[in-house]
A and B are shown apart, each in its own frame.
Chain A
Amino acid sequence: MKNKIYLSAIVIFLIFCFVIFYNGLNRSNVYTPKINQKQNLPKFEAKDFYSDKNITSEELFKEDIFYVVNIWASWCVPCRKEHKFLMELSKNENIKIIGLNYKDNLNNAKNFINELGNPYSKNLTDKNGLLSIEFGAYGVPETFIINKRKIIVNKFIGPINKKTLNQIRKIIK
């Protein structure tokens, strides 16, 4: 009787292990972050892309509207691809797009804007990448949606495409 209990306990344990490992086999080993985690807008001070003057987050996000913060760089190939969608989004008068120029050469960045157009109502320089960490970014490109209560309600990792553009439009409605 005792042996039977031991045997069934071992069998149950082995089945348990098998199920756990078998499930693990089918899981992706690439970490996908929780992108819907809501987060308060960080307080920061940054340099303006054109004037090089300091600007605070309070001054930047003072209006009672939705803001879109887009992290970009001239060396980032996907940023080039998503730029036309940002240009399209900038036509919407209910939002403002804030650019965050990530670890870039200023001249190259200016050429990028001159060539592809400027969707940003304000652009900030993030020379060492610390500002993007304040937002909880992983790299470039990345886009954050900030609602009227100054909460980051959504973030899009990677370039914006038609699908994400529609998603953003739905959020800011």
Chain B
Amino acid sequence: MKIFKIFLLMILFINIANANTDIKDKNLNNKILKNIRCLVCQGQSVYDSESEFSSTIKLLVKKKINEGKSEKQIYEFLRERYGDWVIYEPELNRNTYILWLLPLLLFLLGGAIITKKLK
């Protein structure tokens, strides 16, 4: 009887662990799909689109996650084939310095003007 109880507990723990990994994978999957642009649609992410292109990308992302690939590796794979445009959130590099830093600079400038006025 004791062995049976231990066995039941073990099965329960394994299932909980599996469910946790599934939820994690699904969250990662959705996060990645929302950040990939559907290149044959207008203004839609792959997550929102039902086009042939998007359905294939959905399959690809699922496969890559199952293979244990990281989010960055998946983006890199797509970027190599479709360019920076395919990812909604561009990475910080030489071409995107202005894009990333300009809002911050404007924010600081605005803050400086406000502080100066208040003084």
Q: Could you list which residues of chain A lie within 8 angstroms of chain B, going by C-beta atoms?
A: 29-31, 33-34, 37, 39, 103, 128-130, 132-136, 138-139
* Count of chain B residues near A, Cβ 8 A: 16
B53 near A130 with CB under 8 A, answer: no
A/B interface sample: 21 pairs, CB < 8 A: A30-B42, A31-B39, A33-B82, A33-B85, A34-B83, A37-B83, A39-B81, A128-B56, A128-B59, A129-B52, A129-B55, A129-B56, A130-B56, A130-B59, A130-B63, A133-B57, A133-B60, A133-B81, A136-B80, A136-B82, A139-B52
Most chain B beta carbons < 10 A, residue from A34, A133, A136, A138: A133
Closest 6 CB pairs of A and B: A136-B81, A129-B56, A133-B60, A138-B40, A133-B56, A128-B59
Per-residue contact bits, chain B 58-87, to A (CB 8 Å; 1 contact, 0 not): 011001000000000000000011110100
The A/B interface has a contact count, at CB < 8 Å, of 39
Query: In chain A, what residue has the closest Cβ to B40?
Result: A138
A residues less than 8 Å from B81 (CB atoms): 39, 133-136
A130 near B52 with CB under 8 A, answer: no
B42 near A29 with CB under 8 A, answer: yes
The majority secondary structure among interface residues of chain A is loop
Q: Could you list which residues of chain B lie within 8 angstroms of chain A, going by C-beta atoms?
A: 39-40, 42, 52-53, 55-57, 59-60, 63, 80-83, 85
B residues less than 8 Å from A134 (CB atoms): 81
A residues less than 8 Å from B53 (CB atoms): 138-139
A residues less than 8 Å from B56 (CB atoms): 128-130, 132-133
Query: In chain B, what residue has the closest Cβ to A152?
Result: B81
Known contacts A133-B57, A138-B39, A138-B53; 20 additional CB pairs below 8 A are A29-B42, A30-B42, A31-B39, A33-B39, A33-B83, A33-B85, A37-B83, A103-B52, A129-B52, A129-B55, A129-B59, A130-B56, A130-B59, A130-B60, A130-B63, A133-B56, A135-B81, A136-B80, A136-B81, A139-B40
Query: In chain A, what residue has the closest Cβ to B83?
Result: A34
C-alpha spacing A34/B85, complex, angstroms: 10
B residues less than 8 Å from A128 (CB atoms): 56, 59
A residues less than 8 Å from B39 (CB atoms): 31, 33, 138
A residues less than 8 Å from B82 (CB atoms): 33, 136
B residues less than 8 Å from A132 (CB atoms): 56
